[in-house]
Structure 1
Amino acid sequence: MSFLDYLISVDARTALMGRMMQKLGVDRQLKTVPDHEAVTSRAVDRCRSCGHQDECAIWLDENEQPNDPPDYCRNRDLIARLQHAAGLR
């Protein structure tokens, strides 16, 4: 894999995380947590290290208004906490 391929794959994974947060209605809530930059950075790192990018992209395309992320999502706990804080749970 070239460095450019690596950067493209990292960007694609970051985009998947953004889509997941938005689809589950917690993208704005993420910006309000204390030290949100560090929390977001750790969430991006978890997403980047995930091996389910293709599955995730398909899941995002097929699920219009999901209540929960897929079981393999490494940010599942964070999303649940954000949903609770936003009153979505």
Structure 2
Amino acid sequence: MSLLDYLLSVDLRTTLMGRMMQTMGVDRQLKTVPDHIAVINRAADRCRSCGHQAECSTWLDSHEQADVPPDYCRNADLIARLRHAAGLR
């Protein structure tokens, strides 16, 4: 894998994370948590280490909004906590 391929892969995964947070309705809530930059960086790291990019992209394409992420989402716990803090079920 070339450096460019790696960088494109990292960018895709980070984009998927942002889309997932929007789909789950927690993108604004994520920006309000204490030390949100560190929380976002850890969430991005979990997303970047995931091997389900194609599945995630397909899932996101078929869901404008959702209450729960797919089972393979490595940020499911974070999303659940953010949804709870935002008063979402």
TM-score class, shorter-chain normalisation, is: over 0.9
TM-score under structure 2 normalisation? 0.98
Say if 2:6 is the partner of 1:6: yes
Residues 25-64 of structure 1 show CA distances to partners (whole Å, capped at 9, x for unaligned) of: 0000000000000000000000000000000000000122
Taking the TM superposition and a 5 Å limit, the aligned residue runs for 1:41-80 are 41-80=41-80
The percentage of counterpart residues that share the same residue type is: 78
Q: 1:81 and 1:30 mapped to 2: Cα distance?
A: 10
Residues 51-81 of structure 1 show CA distances to partners (whole Å, capped at 9, x for unaligned) of: 0000000000012221100000000000000
Q: 2:65 and 2:34 mapped to 1: Cα distance?
A: 27
Q: 2:74 and 2:8 mapped to 1: Cα distance?
A: 20
User: Could you list the runs of 5+ residues in structure 2 that have no partner in the other structure?
Assistant: none
User: Could you list the runs of 5+ residues in structure 1 that have no partner in the other structure?
Assistant: none
TM-score under structure 1 normalisation? 0.98
Tell me the CA shift for residue 5 of structure 1.
0.3
Output the amino acid matched with 2:13.
R
Output the amino acid matched with 1:15.
T
Q: 1:53 and 1:9 mapped to 2: Cα distance?
A: 9
CA contact (8 A) 2:46 2:74 kept: yes
RMSD: 0.5
Deviant stretches of 4+, over 3 Å: none
